[in-house]
Structure 1
Amino acid sequence: MSLKISVIGTGYLGATHAAAMAELGFEVLGLDVVAEKIDKLRRGEVPMYEPGLEELLRKHVAGIPGSTGRLRFTMDFAEAADFGDVHFVCVNTPQRHGEYAADMSYVDAAIASLAPHLTRPTLVVGKSTVPVGSADRLAAYLAAHAPAGADVELAWNPEFLREGFAVDDTLHPDRIVTGVRSERAERLLREVYAAPIADGTPFVVTDFPTAELVKTAANSFLATKISFINAMAEVCEAAGGDVAKLAEAIGYDDRIGRKFLRAGIGFGGGCLPKDIRAFMARAGELGADQALTFLREIDSINMRQRGQMVELARQAVGGGSFLGRRVAVLGAAFKPDSDDVRDSPALNVAGQIHLQGGQVTVYDPKGMDNARRIFPTLGYADSALEAVRGADVVLHLTEWREFRELDPQELGSVAAARVILDGRNALDPQLWRKAGWTYRAMGRPTA
């Protein structure tokens, strides 16, 4: 008998995981407690922008003409418990308000709502990013509160999705990590991931604490790499060096690698900032806080980049006040190929300049609606050209391909001044300077 899969939580992670499991051939039931989200998903609409996800949903959601019908949605925990042989918990763990620690209330609520309905042997699999030690606690809770008792097992299987590449990362992951306590749990997860394993994806079996630590360790390493090159940009600024050439040169060393070595306004989004802070908080609870004190500086370097971009913009408009100055901001999402504006450096910079009196107009290919909800007082344009019209300075803050392909001459014809600050070191300086623009980027020579 083929396994049936339930997915608890249908946000970014859950919706992607549910659609991918259906693509791998499983019957899938997605569950959420937000009626509007479920209604959208039943129509084959995604609650966020993610390339390829809506097409995958529509291929499998029951009731859509021509679909396989393998994917359905519900708000009923009893139905999900009865349906699934394997239950994936994919709910959010945001930063706790006013603290560094992770908010575990959504995970705890999902487990508490599911447990009373688990009347037969089953496997519950956590995919959420949680503080180390959570799996032990949740496994004990399930054993105590599920009618099937010890026959309800827990496993931990962290996600490594990159926004903009989530569908491919789920169907063709670079590794699968599973924290398990029994051969049965390992066997079930090998069955779930049989297709990617057959394609050569490494399958790493470990204990609960290691599985929980893998995600936060990976994100901490990536954050460290980004903040390292941004620290080098500061030194290059002071010494007259070129951080782009520096990154290219050290990136050829395969022990270092070239990825995540582009200096700019730093990282944001719903994962890296809150994950490194939660990691520091949990290390403190475990008495290992000194091991992660370096992450505080990583976080500090990252946040400092935003302020430095604001100062560059201030210099560009004369070095005094932003009052009466028009500032065009290209980008609102924290990264390209996403509409996610959570802790977005681009939107943070735009907001800071606006609060200091600048007339800010923002354009982003996908993030406009989400940006408006967070910063309704900013100006918004329907195109890059309209955003730049009359601007005293242009800030390139999200490296969308659309922005890399802009015509500097066309933009120059509508700007009040041809000054561009490349907050992502992603534009071609020669191309823009040739068109008469003053081009500036962090850690790069001014000419």
Structure 2
Amino acid sequence: MTYRITVFGTGYLGATHAACMAELGYEVIGVDVDTEKIAMLSAGKVPFYEPDLEPLLAKHVESGRLRFTTSYEEAAEFGDVHFVCVGTPQKKGEYAADLRYVDAVIDNLAPLLRRECLVVGKSTVPVGTAARLAERLAELAPGGDDAAAVELAWNPEFLREGYAVQDTLHPDRLVIGVRSERAEKVLRDVYAPLLEAGVPIVVTDFATAELVKVSANAFLATKISFINAMAEVCEATGADVTHLAEALSYDPRIGGRFLQAGLGFGGGCLPKDIRAFMARAGELGADQALTFLREVDAINMRRRARMVDLAREQCDGSFLGKRIAVFGAAFKPNSDDIRDSPALNVAAQIQLQGGEVTVYDPKAMDNARKMFPSLAYADSAVEAAVGAHVVLHLTEWQEFREMEPELLNPVVAERRIVDGRNALDPVKWRQAGWVYRALGRP
């Protein structure tokens, strides 16, 4: 059977999933309540930066294989498999996840489902959500408790921003939580091109599928915070965290991935996901199992404060009357996502302490201006560095990693740089006459 696909939510996850499902040969409709976003996507334009996504999306919009709508009625009539890809942000003033958008998709879609279909959750949710939504789906779908016609499955995403297209078309694994052989068969059929290419698949229950994503994020966050904790110890002892990490990376039990000390993690996933995980564990009476994540979170936030301290040290103890150039606004390179950006957090803290801060980022300038309008912005790294008493490297874009110090020498007030990502070559910068400092290094 050739399935027709709908994707609810057209953010980083949804737009990427829709375009990639079209690339795998399916007819796809993307659904969103944001009319401006739908108009932009329908014109083949992506309202955010994600490498390789816009050409892929435009290709399939032009072919007619991919289209977008705000109509749930149109999507319900069209689709055989409905993917739920909406956001689950952190609740304001709480650790818990805000599930209103996931709930809204089910509440609006379910009454319109008048034939056999599969609803597939991809959003990152607290464990137990899928079981609750399955009951809601059965309750609201025409036919009442007839779960044979309209069924739920859970298929968590593991996308990395900046590599989302690659991770969708060539994932390292597929995880599906199902309650029937029929649901498993449908998802095996949908992902047949990936399975035929040798992608491993784990078929499990709802709760385990939900836990896989948050467990993976908790593990990655823990590894990042571990090496950043070691950076704190290195600073106290005069050791070099980059050499320490290199030595650890050769241990096959540890490996080198996510073992680079620096400013810590941010973005729309890791911080809010580990907090929601802790909140859900508390609701389940298993809060003691995840108390270590509180320290993981605390270590991560301390890195930002330490970066501000290092920058202040380079300004002779005070930011008053000092100009600071910030290289980076996105929370990571190859993205324009500034959600919980460590770079902008540091920039804002320095500004509050009296510094004159100018920010440059290759892709995230528009988003940064909207979120932090009081900061100054430049159109290039050189322009941002004009008159700077210290330069802060806070997002490890290739442009910054490969920059020659001599490019900045004529424009800065003082040759001082603090490398918040441990990604620059200290020998090169020092030979060019710069004072080079970094987190966790002498």
Return the TM-score normalized by structure 2.
0.99
- Structure 1 CA distance for aligned equivalents of residues 152 and 285 of structure 2: 26
Question: What SS does structure 1 have at the residue aligned with 2:428?
Answer: helix
Q: Partners in 2 of 1:138 and 1:186 — Cα distance?
A: 18
Q: 1:278 aligns with which of 271, 276, 279?
A: 276
Q: Which amino acid is 2:338 matched to?
A: V
Could you tell me which residue of structure 2 aligns to residue 339 of structure 1? 336
Matches within 5 A, 1:264-343: 264-319=262-317, 321-343=318-340
Give distance in 2, aligned partners of 1:438 and 1:195. Answer: 53
* 1:46 counterpart letter in structure 2: V
How far 1:68 moved relative to its partner? 2.2
5+ residue gaps, structure 1: 62-66
State the identity as a percent.
73
1:64 is matched with none
Deviations 1:305-359 (A, max 9, x none): 000000001100001x211100000000000000000000000000000011100
Measured after TM superposition, the shift of residue 196 of structure 1 is 1.1
Q: Distance in 2 between matches of 1:271 and 1:68?
A: 33
SS of 1:412's partner is coil
Q: Does 1:204 align with 2:191?
A: no
Q: Kindly provide the CA deviation profile for residues 353-372 of structure 1, in whole angstroms up to 9, marking residues without a partner as x.
A: 00111000000000000000
How far apart are residue 3 of structure 1 and its match?
0.5
Q: 2:47 — aligned with what?
A: 47
Deviations 1:42-70 (A, max 9, x none): 00000110000000001101xxxxx3210
Matched, 1:146 2:141: yes
Q: After TM superposition, what 4+ stretches of structure 1 lie above 4 angstroms from structure 2?
A: none
**Counterpart of 2:43 in structure 1: which amino acid?**
R
How much is the aligned-residue C-alpha RMSD, in angstroms?
A: 0.6
What aligned pairs does 1:181-260 form with structure 2 within 5 A after superposition?
181-260=179-258
In 1, distance between residues paired with 2:396 and 2:161? 14
1:86 aligns with 2:81: yes
The gaps in structure 2 that reach 5 residues or longer are none
Between the aligned partners of 2:41 and 2:406, the Cα distance in structure 1 is 43
The 1-side partners of 2:410 and 2:228 are apart by: 33
**Alignment match, 2:396:** 399
Which residue in 1 is equivalent to 2:9?
Answer: 9
Q: What is the rounded CA distance, in whole Å, between the counterparts of 2:64 and 2:192 in structure 1?
A: 21
The answer to whether the aligner puts 1:32 opposite 2:46 as a matched pair is no
Separation in structure 1 between the aligned mates of residue 82 and residue 260 of structure 2, nearest angstrom: 39
Cα displacement (A) at 1:78: 1.0
Specify which of 119, 126, 130 is matched with residue 124 of structure 1: 119
* One-letter identity of the residue aligned with 1:115: A
What is the CA–CA distance in structure 1 between the aligned matches of 2:267 and 2:409, rounded to whole Å?
A: 31
**Deviations 1:280-300 (CA, angstroms, capped at 9, x unpaired):** 000000000000000000000
Aligned partner letter, 1:340: D
Give the distance between the partners of 1:144 and 1:80, measured in 2 at CA: 20
Q: Provide the C-alpha distance between the structure 1 equivalents of 2:436 and 2:267, rounded to a whole number of angstroms.
A: 27
Alignment-derived partner of residue 443 in structure 1: 440
CA distance in 1, matches of 2:64, 2:189: 21
Letter in 2 for 1:322: F
* Aligned match of 1:387: 384
Q: TM-score, with normalisation over the residues of structure 1? A: 0.98
- Is 1:374 paired with 2:389? no
Bigger drift between 83-92 and 140-149 goes to 140-149
